[in-house]
Structure 1
Amino acid sequence: MVMVFLGPGDYLFARIDEPVSIVLGSCVALMAWQPELRLTLATHIMLPGRDPEDEQDLRYACAVLKRWTADSIDKGLSMHAFRLGLFGGSSQFFHCQQRELSVGYKNITCMHNELRRIGLTLNAEDTGGGIHRKLLFNGQNGQYQIQYLDREADGKSGVESCL
C-alpha cells in the first residue's frame, strides 16, 4: 500500500486517496477534511510562532494558517466547510508544573488561539501529555487512527475516529 509521509514543515492540501502518516512529538498536526469534495489538509507544524525572516516557512503555525486561507480562497471554499482535528504536542521532557515551557504546549496553545481568532473550532483533538503519536489519516472517509509510541503509553490503546 502506498502511503504519504509528512515530515516537519510539510503541507498537503489536495484530494488524496493514499493514507497520510505523521509521526508527532512536540510538533502538532492540523488536519482538515471537507467531506463533499473529500479534500484533505494535512500539516506538520514544528513551532508556534512565525519566523519573521520568512513568512512562507511552513514549520510555523501562523504561516500554515495563512497558506491554508489562501489555498481555500483560490479553490472558492470556506474554511468553515472543513472538519478539523489537532494532534500531537507532546511535552515529554517537562514535568507537569513546567509544561508551559515546552514547545509542545506552546504549539497547542498557539493553534487553539489562532483557530479561535479566525472563528474555527475543532471536531477532534488528541494533544499534550508525554506521549509521542503516529497519526494515520484516510482522506477518502475522514477517519483517523492514533498509535501511541512511547513506553509510557504501555496499556494505553490507540484512538480511532472520524473528523
Structure 2
Amino acid sequence: MADSRMPAPPFYIDIFLQPGDFYFGDSDTRIRTILGSCVAITIWHPILRIGGMCHYMLPKTAQRQQHHPLDGRYAEDAVQMFLKEIKKSHTHPRDFEIKMFGGGNQFPQQNSGLFPISDRNIELGSSLLAQHGLQLKSQHLGGVGHRNVMFDLWSGDVWVKHVEKVSTP
C-alpha cells in the first residue's frame, strides 16, 4: 500500500515553541513543542496550506491592562492572535482544521479535590474556540504526563507522543 502522506519539502523551517510562543506561517514549516499542563492549538488551511500553533500556559490573565499587546501565554489572547492571522489571510475560521493537545495533570496527588490548571486550560480553550466558530477536528487532552507535539504545515499532519508520568517508589 502506498504512503498517501505529503512528503516534506526539500528544505523547511523547523520552529520550536517555548511556553507562551505563537507561530503562524506557510507550507515550508514544521512546528514542535513539549506540553505538560499547557495546551497547544494548531490551525491549518488545507487549500492554502497555511497555519500555526500556539503554546499557552494559563486560561487568562488576572489583570487586563487597557491597550495591552496580545500575550501568547494566555488562551484568550492566543485565540485572538489566530483570529488576527485568519483575517490577514482573507479566510474564514470555518476554513481551518483545528486540533488541540495537552493539558496533562503534572501533579495528580497534589491536585486531588482541586480544579487543576490543566483542566482550566482545556475548558477555556475549548470554549473560546467554539465561541469563534473554530470547530475542533481532533484532540488529545488531559491525562497525566507530558506530550511532544510536531505539526507539519505542508500536510496538516500532527504527531503526538504522550509520555505518562511514572511513579517511583
Same fold (TM over 0.5): yes
Shift of 1:92: 2.2
Tell me the SS of whatever aligns to 1:141.
Answer: coil
- The normalised TM-score by structure 2 is 0.81
Matched, 1:39 2:39: no
Whole-angstrom CA distance in 2 between matches of 1:24 and 1:63: 18
Deviations 1:122-156 (A, max 9, x none): 1010010112000011111111111123454xxxx
Deviations 1:19-47 (A, max 9, x none): 21110001000001101111011111111
Contact 2:93–2:132 (Cα < 8 Å) also in 1? no
Aligned residues: 153
Contact 2:35–2:102 (Cα < 8 Å) also in 1? yes
Shift of 1:100: 5.3
Whole-angstrom CA distance in 2 between matches of 1:102 and 1:131: 14
Task: Give structure 1 stretches of 5+ with no counterpart.
Answer: 153-163
Matched, 1:103 2:114: no
Number of the residue aligned with 2:82: 68
Shift of 1:95: 4.6
Whole-angstrom CA distance in 2 between matches of 1:18 and 1:70: 20
Which is greater in Rg?
A: 2
Q: 1:47 to 1:100 in 2, by over 3 A?
A: same
Contact 2:58–2:73 (Cα < 8 Å) also in 1? yes
Task: Give structure 2 stretches of 5+ with no counterpart.
Answer: 1-11
Shift of 1:99: 6.9
Contact 1:100–1:106 (Cα < 8 Å) also in 2? no
Shift of 1:103: 1.1
* Percent pairwise identity: 28
Q: 1:135 to 1:9 in 2, by over 3 A?
A: same
Shift of 1:66: 1.3
Tell me the SS of whatever aligns to 1:64.
Answer: helix
Question: What is the aligned counterpart of 1:52 among 64, 73, 78?
Answer: 64
Number of the residue aligned with 1:147: 161
1:26 partner amino acid: S
Number of the residue aligned with 2:132: 118
2:72 partner amino acid: L
Deviating runs (4+, > 4 A) in structure 1?
A: none
1:149 partner amino acid: V
